[in-house]
Amino acid sequence: MKNKLIFVACDTSNLEKIKKIINQTNSNKLKIIPKFGIQFFYSKNGRKFLEKFKQDFWLDLKINDIPQTALSAIDSLKDLKKCKYMTVHVNGGFEMLKSIKKKAKKVNKDLKILGVTILTSLNSKSLKEIGHTKNVEQLVLKQAALIKKSGCDGIVCSAQEALMIRKRYKNLLIMTPGIRLPGDSSNDQMRIVTPKQAFKNRVSGIVIGRSLTKGNIKNNAKKLADHLNR
């Protein structure tokens, strides 16, 4: 399973907890890459920590603004040399996506830009509430086309939509949050699947949060490895 991309969501502003998550998800059986979101990045010590971080990581900022502001944001992150994945929100539109991908090549040739689609905390009912007329699958497929056209490297979506996207876009990175080990609570997620099912749906990588970080992290990592190797 070492060839599978597995990310752990480091969703805390507590630096000691971050270090614990990173250390205890280190395993001979799995390579688990940390994903840092806005909670940690915006914290007092978060930005400083990432400047000196020596491992590859995913910075999940979901950038969504007018193209020039978005470009300035990417430029301000050029010192984060080990950042290998960066998220931008498809809602920013085609010009923003295209501009960011072009800028990213200059900032860091290894940086992969991932377009975030419909958050896994939302479902078709939620979309109607905020004014969308398409259901989740229709909207994600339309957003995937925009991501591909813009030249971005990949898409962030639920694993429930992954197979549909993979059939159309063979080479697009498909990263999927909303992952839970069997029997774990869904919490605030709506569109969830197990790690094994996600990879069966031909995703490139999975993001696991509470199923790994809640309780005994080492035991959880072992459960994940056992689950994937069954």
Q: Which domain holds residue 23?
A: 5-229
User: CA–CA separation, 227 vs 130, rounded Å?
Assistant: 37
Helix (H, G, I), strand (E, B) or coil at 110: coil
CB count in 10 Å sphere of residue 102 = 14
Verdict on whether the full-model pTM lies above 0.85: yes
**Do the bridges between strand 205-208 and strand 5-10 make them parallel or antiparallel, or are there none, so unpaired?**
parallel
Which DSSP symbol is given to 193? Answer: B
- Residue pLDDT, tens place only, 193-229: 899 999 999 999 999 999 999 999 999 999 999 999 8
Number of domains in the chain: 1
Q: Is 78 a catalytic residue?
A: no
Residues in the chain: 230
Segment 105-112 shows an average pLDDT of 91
Q: How many CA atoms lie within 13 A of 215 on its CB side?
A: 9
**Which pLDDT does position 136 carry in this prediction?**
85
CATH of the domain at 174: 3.20.20.70
Q: Which of 17, 48, 62, 101 is catalytic?
A: 62
- Per-residue pLDDT at 2 exceeds 60: no
